[in-house]
């Protein structure tokens, strides 16, 4: 199911980008810091989640436990999965794929081939790990939630929602399937990879909303993968009020260089909370102004 809809008449959208376990901790910290400053983004009319943002978005949209509990979980030191890393050869293949691609779809196809050939854990094991990260959140929430994934064969972006007929855990597992690290997820007879491959935020899926906040652990972009700032600018040019938050210097230091190492999750969450508090006034001007 490819999302092609517009949302004219809807007020607010929250976009949560890709960024691994550490990025998820940072996003939750930012959300908690914004709440400290009086801005509750859990009230969004739409939540869009990619990869790390898919996990955070599903937890947030469910309303189970509340943001306080979700934040505290980032600090408790419990590892929901082992540390992983993109090896140098894989990083080189990512770079070559960017240089040789002209569109996000072509880039997605190249990384899809990488993902399909890479030796990884079994799909069932990976799904079980994602299910642990989601905890009690097993069903699609009542509020609108989009979870992105990329078709490993075609490179096309898909956004699953409650009407897609796909279980929430399967959609999130697909969205978190980092090529070369985790196995592509099987859904509907096809294989799917990380939604952050198309872009690190996929903020374009919030087109038509009046007020949009993008929280993206990765500010990166390229000639084929649009950065969160570029996507935010495009949404603003179309008439939306937009605020984009990416890690500041303090958050980048706390997050470290390996977004897949849970040892940095707590520090990232604390740094995100500080950054969120510092940005609350700007976000409030967009969200409630």
Provide the annotated active-site residues.
Answer: 51, 194
* CA–CA dist 29, 247 (Å, integer): 11
H helix intervals, 135-178: 168-175
Torsion angle in degrees (nearest 10) through CA of 17, 277, 211, 254 = -10
Burial per residue of 11-30, b for 16 or more beta-carbon CB atoms within 10 angstroms, e otherwise: ebbbbbbbbbbbbbbbbbbb
Question: Which DSSP symbol is given to 189?
Answer: T
**End-to-end alpha carbon distance in the chain:** 34
* CA–CA dist 199, 223 (Å, integer): 11
């Amino acid at each position: 199911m490819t999302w092609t809809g517009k949302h004219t008449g809807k007020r607010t959208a929250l976009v949560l980008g890709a960024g691994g376990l550490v990025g998820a901790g940072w996003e939750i910290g930012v959300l908690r810091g914004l709440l400290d400053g009086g801005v509750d983004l859990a009230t969004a009319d739409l939540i869009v989640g990619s990869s790390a943002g898919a996990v955070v978005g599903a937890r947030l949209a469910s309303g189970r436990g509340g943001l306080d509990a979700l934040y505290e979980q980032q600090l408790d030191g419990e590892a929901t999965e082992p540390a992983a890393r993109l090896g140098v050869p894989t990083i080189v293949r990512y770079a070559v794929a960017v240089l040789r691609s002209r569109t996000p779809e072509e880039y997605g196809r190249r990384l899809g081939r990488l993902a399909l050939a890479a030796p990884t854990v079994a799909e069932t094991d990976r799904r079980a790990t994602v299910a642990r990260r989601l905890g009690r959140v097993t069903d699609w929430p009542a509020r609108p939630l989009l979870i992105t994934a990329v078709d490993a064969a075609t490179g096309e972006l898909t956004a699953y929602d409650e009407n897609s007929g796909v279980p929430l855990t399967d959609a999130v597992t697909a969205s978190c399937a980092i090529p070369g690290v985790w196995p592509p997820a099987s859904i509907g007879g096809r294989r799917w990879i990380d939604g952050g491959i198309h872009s690190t935020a996929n903020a374009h899926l919030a087109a038509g909303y009046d007020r949009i906040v993008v929280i993206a652990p990765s500010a990166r972009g390229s000639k084929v993968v649009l950065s969160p700032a570029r996507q935010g600018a495009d949404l603003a040019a179309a008439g939306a009020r937009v605020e984009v938050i990416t890690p500041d210097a303090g958050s980048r230091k706390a997050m470290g260089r390996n977004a897949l190492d849970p040892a940095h999750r707590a520090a990232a969450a604390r740094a995100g909370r500080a950054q969120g508090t510092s940005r609350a006034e700007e976000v409030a001007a967009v969200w409630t102004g």
